[in-house]
Each structure stands twice: as structure tokens, then as C-alpha cells.
Amino acid sequence: MTGSLSNTLRIVDPEYEAGPESKKNLSIGLLPGGFVFSVIDLERYRYTALEEYVQPVDDAPYSYLDALPALCRGHRLLKGGFEKISLSYYTPELILLPLDLFNTSDSGMLPDLLGQAGHKTLIRHDILNILGASGVYLADREAIRVCDSLFPTYRLRHHGSVLIENILASQKLDNWRADLVIHLHDRYFELVLLKKQQLILYRSYHVRSFEDLLYYVFHVLQELNLRPSGLTCMLTGKIAMDTLEYESLKAYFRQTGFPEKNDMYTYPPAFDQVPYHYYFNLLNLDTCG
């Protein structure tokens, strides 16, 4: 596995002083086409850094893992001690099981649910307390090895677990309400359906174009006999308000919008350079679980 990374976003609060003595949390998102990270200053509960790295579009998913150790070890913001390191990891499959069923299940059955786990994959699970469920998924063994060597004390969460937990928490706190949440990325999107603040469906799809996304979204809604014109749609991930993609989605739904910033944290002015919803999962990973 070979790969390279290019830095596409770097935001650092000029008031922030990185160092092993500073109290800080680190959040990392590993995605098929690159990785992102953010740093929280625990003295002020303030986001102080946000960076994104991407691999060439034609490279295989996660091929950048070979380049990750050298980058992390030489990066001043990733050096030193952290109070907590949270890492989210995307895979296409996430199976949600009731906690009581998961606790009593024969672990030997899990590979059958996920497709046979081979020598290249490991079974992992997250506890989603807000849902009363466990999220089970397969993680690439090499990705876990790299993370173990770089961040020995990290806790791992599936990208979908983070998305579900933060959506449900927002619904319960009345921060914003939605019937449908679409999280977009370059190579995939995630679909979350809700009814009366309860999770109905989570699915993830690989896409090559925006037309692929429309096909999957409306296929699911048709299968569930849901009319888009009666639904409120919330958008997270890489979609801007001034795009044809946004206008297309907006035309179908009763209401379409983006989530507000999590007011548990403060943000330096430099964070206004990018829309908050672009990094919704990463900027809510610290309190997840």
C-alpha cells in the first residue's frame, strides 16, 4: 500500500501555543480519501486548530496510510501529550444491534452479519447509549495497526456512529429538527432517516456523481412511501449553499438547511473561513459516546 497526502486546509488560532504541557484534546477523522484533525484547548474549551489532508483522487481508498506516520510524527500540532484522542473511521457497513442482543450474541455470528472477516480485517463495535444499541463494523487491520502505533491511547468510533449520536442529541436538545439528514463526502454519502426524533434508518452509499446520490435518496424514500415535499432535510459534509447540488436538493424538500455550530465550544474567527457543516462529524467527535 502506497500513497501521498496534500494539505488542503490549515486553520490555527494565533493565540494557541502548542506544547506537551498544554491541556488539549485531539479529534481525528480517517476517511477513504484523506484525513482531518482538530485540536481543542481544554483551558477555554475552544477549538484552536483544524487541518485537512487529501490523497490523489485516483488512489485507492486509504492508500495514504503509508504516508501518515511520517506526517504525524513531524507535525508540531500532533506532537506532545493529549488528555484524550478520539478517532472516527469510515467503512461502508455499520450494523446496529440492540444492546441486549449484542451482549448475548455468539461473537462467531458477527462475521456472517458483516461478510466474512478475513486476515485483513478486524471486528469492532461502538456503544451508542443514546440509541441503546451497538454499532458493529469491520476495520482494516493495517489501519488499526497504524493508529495503534501513532496514538496508543485513542478511542475508536465508526463515522456513522458519530453522525447518528450527534444527530439524535441535537434532536433531543431541540438544536435543530430534521426528518432526513444527508452527509456528503467526495466518495460516498450517508443517509439518516428520523421519525419523531427516533432513528428509522442509517445507510451509506458509494457514489461517483451527484446523480448517484439523488437516485439512492429517492429510491429509499419511495421504498418507505415518504414524500420529499413533506420532509425537512438537513445537509452536512461537503456541500455549499451556492451550488447547483444544493439548489437541486432544496427544490425537492419542504425545508432544507444546515446545522448550527455546537455552542458547547467557542471558535476563533479563523474558523469562519470554512462552513461549519463541512466538518460536522469531526467538530462533534470529542463529546461523542
Query: Tens digits of per-residue pLDDT, 148-162?
Result: 999 999 999 999 999
> Across the chain, how many H-helices and E-strands are there?
7, 14
Angle between the N-to-C axes of helices 210-223 and 244-252, in degrees from 0 to 180, rounded to the nearest 10? 10
- pTM, two decimals, is 0.91
Query: Tens digits of per-residue pLDDT, 92-135?
Result: 889 998 887 766 455 555 656 566 556 788 889 999 999 999 99
Give pLDDT, residue 114.
61
Handedness of CA 74, 88, 37, 30 (dihedral sign): positive
Give pLDDT, residue 186.
83
* Domains of the chain from N-terminus onward: 1-170 (3.30.420.250), 177-257 (3.30.420.260)
What is the residue-level pLDDT of the chain in tens, covering all 289 positions? 446 899 999 999 988 777 666 789 999 999 999 999 999 999 999 999 999 999 998 888 899 999 999 999 889 898 778 999 999 999 988 999 888 776 645 555 565 656 655 678 888 999 999 999 999 998 999 999 999 999 999 999 999 999 999 999 888 777 678 999 999 998 899 999 999 889 999 999 999 899 999 999 999 999 999 999 999 999 999 999 999 999 999 999 999 999 988 888 999 999 999 999 999 999 999 988 7
Give pLDDT, residue 177.
83
- Nearest Cα residue to 287 out of 139, 188, 168: 168
- Please check whether residue 195 is in contact with residue 214, taking contact to mean a CB–CB distance below 8 angstroms: no
Give pLDDT, residue 86.
97
**What's the start-to-end Cα distance of the chain, in Å?**
32
Give pLDDT, residue 1.
42
